[in-house]
């Protein structure tokens, strides 16, 4: 298969219309270390809140990240959550002119409360949903359908994201598919959990996951060949051009109405979070078909894009450049190097998943066995090890002229190549205080002869309930010792030998 990204680059930025249930995901985090005196329930001391785009708007966000022009069509309530969603979409450069307000129903909101014990080990303790699942009021349905039909002439593909919240009514869905098909516009549908796909008839592609495909086809899917058989049955039963059954780590099975099919293998990943994988498949296949990339090539692209998506927590867009690097075989170690802001977001998501984040910082100029030993020891303290590396400017400030010997980008890449290191961050301050406030590691660790009360930044970590730890030291190893040995024309092995003799 030729590189299909070249085709995408050739057509620029196709216009995608995303239709479906617009959902706002809210998160409240806090410590839960006591029981209420009023009832046998936990009390959360809330310390952070965040809102994220979910449902069809997460598909729109991912499509925008892939450099598509995106318009969202759906319904929100006349409330603060609806306004917040509009603002977030505009901030992401997603067109909201087809977002209709309906005073009869609230904006769909899923609010999750995530508690920590002793500042660590986050667990979701409650989810509160605010929604109406009944079909849209006939007048709202008429308005939304009319606006969608007017926009089709300027649309390259339609993506329908049906979460069963009432926006994708049988009439609206069937009419949108029929109108788009008449104009030669592909419609790709991520179906709801219904067992009846009649309203999706005429779609170019359905993308059910395994349980959804089992329910709609009436077939048990234990492996990829059963998934392929189910896809063919769905094509025949519901008159759709193709069905792509997503199977998580087992890959995908594509069945087409002409009887052809293909099984697409999934690349082995360090899976962090499968949230958003299905949305990424919908966004990427939609972009491919909008750009006239053949279906099977679009599916292969979607498979790789979804693989990148599961390597990050939450809904985080995958850029075309990242996908290009993935296809070109760019070393995965380079993907470990992230900005402070990116690491702060990842750190929060790791904690939500109950994983312990360990951070250590230093210059790491001329890596040696002492560094490797203490990093391996630090990694054993938790699930995620973050190494914060002083920038060239801050190393010079700390160590004086002539240092660093190795540039910051090369030091970061060398650290990222170590299996025990999960992320590398370059920071420019002379102390790690701001870095620690942003990332909030569960454990701050240093290697050497320090006492814990001598570790720089300890007060920041202890203030929010984190821990400070000091690992052991490998005798006779230091960057300064290596530099001195080189300057004196003596090998470090000779220097160590002399130390042992003495």
CA distance 479 to 143: 69
- Assigned token pair, 29: 């985090």
- Assigned token pair, 330: 């760019």
Distances (CA, A) of 341 to 52, 355, 366: 16, 19, 27
Read off the DSSP letter of residue 333.
G
Edge-first strand order for the sheet with 384-390 is: 337-338, 423-427, 384-390, 357-362, 443-447, 467-471
CA distance 338 to 311: 13
Which residues have a Cβ under 8 Å from the Cβ of 158 and sit 6 or more positions away? 16, 17, 19, 152, 176, 177, 180, 185, 186, 187, 188, 286
How far is C-alpha 56 from the chain's CA centre?
16
Strands 205-206, 187-190: pairing is parallel
Strand ranges in 191-347 using DSSP code E only, listed in sequence order: 205-206, 242-246, 252-256, 261-264, 337-338
Residues in the chain: 502
Helix or strand holding residue 80 (H, E): helix 80-91
Edge-first strand order for the sheet with 69-76 is: 95-101, 69-76, 15-20, 157-161, 187-190, 205-206, 242-246, 252-256, 261-264
Biggest CA pair distance of the chain: 91
Choose the catalytic residue: 25, 273, 279, 392: 279
Cβ burial of 135 (10 Å; 0-12, 13-18, 19+) is middle
Long-range contacts: 217-222, Cβ < 8 Å, 24+?
221/245, 221/247
279 has catalytic annotation: yes
- Assigned token pair, 174: 């069937």
Helix or strand holding residue 350 (H, E): helix 340-352
Residue (of 362, 372, 451) closest to 404 by Cα position: 362
Strands 261-264, 252-256: pairing is antiparallel
Which residues have a Cβ under 8 Å from the Cβ of 266 and sit 6 or more positions away? 247, 248, 249, 250, 251, 252, 303, 307
Edge-first strand order for the sheet with 42-55 is: 42-55, 22-35, 108-117, 120-130
**Secondary structure of residue 325 in the 3-state scheme:** helix
Active site residue ranges: 279
């Amino acid at each position: 298969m030729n590189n299909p990204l070249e085709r995408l680059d050739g057509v620029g930025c196709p216009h995608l219309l995303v239709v479906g249930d617009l959902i706002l995901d809210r998160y409240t985090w806090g410590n839960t270390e006591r029981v209420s005196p009023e009832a046998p329930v936990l009390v959360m001391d809330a310390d952070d809140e965040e809102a994220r785009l979910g449902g069809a708007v997460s598909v729109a966000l991912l499509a925008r990240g892939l450099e598509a022009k995106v318009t969202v069509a759906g319904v929100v309530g006349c409330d603060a959550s609806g306004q917040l969603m509009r603002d977030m979409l505009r901030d992401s450069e997603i067109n909201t002119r087809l977002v209709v307000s309906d005073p009869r129903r609230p904006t769909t909101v899923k609010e999750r409360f995530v508690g920590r014990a002793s500042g660590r080990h986050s667990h979701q303790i409650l989810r509160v949903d605010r929604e109406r699942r009944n079909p849209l009021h006939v007048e709202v349905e008429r308005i939304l359908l009319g606006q969608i039909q007017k926009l089709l002439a300027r649309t390259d593909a339609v993506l329908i994201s049906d979460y069963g919240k009432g926006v994708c009514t049988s009439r609206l869905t069937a009419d949108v598919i029929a109108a788009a098909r008449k104009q030669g516009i592909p419609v790709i549908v991520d179906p709801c959990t219904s067992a009846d796909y009649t309203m999706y008839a005429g779609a170019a592609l359905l993308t059910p996951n395994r349980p959804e495909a089992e329910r709609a086809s009436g077939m048990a899917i234990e492996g990829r060949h059963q998934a392929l058989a189910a896809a063919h049955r769905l094509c025949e039963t519901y008159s759709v051009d193709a069905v792509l059954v997503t199977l998580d780590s087992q890959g995908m099975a594509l069945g087409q109405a002409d009887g052809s099919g293909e099984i697409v293998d999934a690349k082995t990943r360090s899976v962090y979070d499968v949230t958003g994988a299905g949305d990424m498949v919908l966004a990427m296949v939609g972009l491919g078909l909008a750009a006239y990339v053949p279906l099977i090539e679009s599916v292969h692209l979607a498979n790789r894009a979804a693989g990148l998506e599961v390597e990050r927590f939450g809904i985080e867009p995958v850029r075309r450049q990242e996908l290009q690097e993935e296809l070109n075989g760019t070393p995965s170690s380079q993907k470990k190097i992230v900005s402070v802001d990116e690491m702060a977001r990842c750190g929060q998501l790791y904690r939500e998943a109950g994983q312990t984040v360990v951070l250590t910082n230093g210059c790491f100029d001329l890596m040696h066995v002492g560094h490797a030993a203490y990093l391996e020891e630090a990694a054993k303290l938790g699930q995620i090890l973050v190494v914060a590396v002083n920038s060239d400017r801050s190393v010079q400030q700390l160590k004086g002229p002539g240092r660093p010997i190795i540039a910051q980008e090369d030091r970061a890449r060398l650290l990222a190549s170590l299996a025990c290191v999960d992320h590398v961050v370059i920071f420019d301050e002379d102390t790690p205080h701001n870095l620690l406030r942003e990332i909030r590691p569960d454990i701050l660790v240093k290697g050497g002869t320090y006492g814990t009360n001598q570790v720089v930044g300890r007060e920041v970590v202890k203030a929010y309930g984190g821990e400070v730890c000091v690992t052991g030291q490998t005798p006779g190893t230091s960057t300064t010792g290596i530099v001195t040995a080189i300057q004196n024309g003596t090998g470090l092995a000779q220097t160590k030998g002399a130390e042992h003799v003495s």
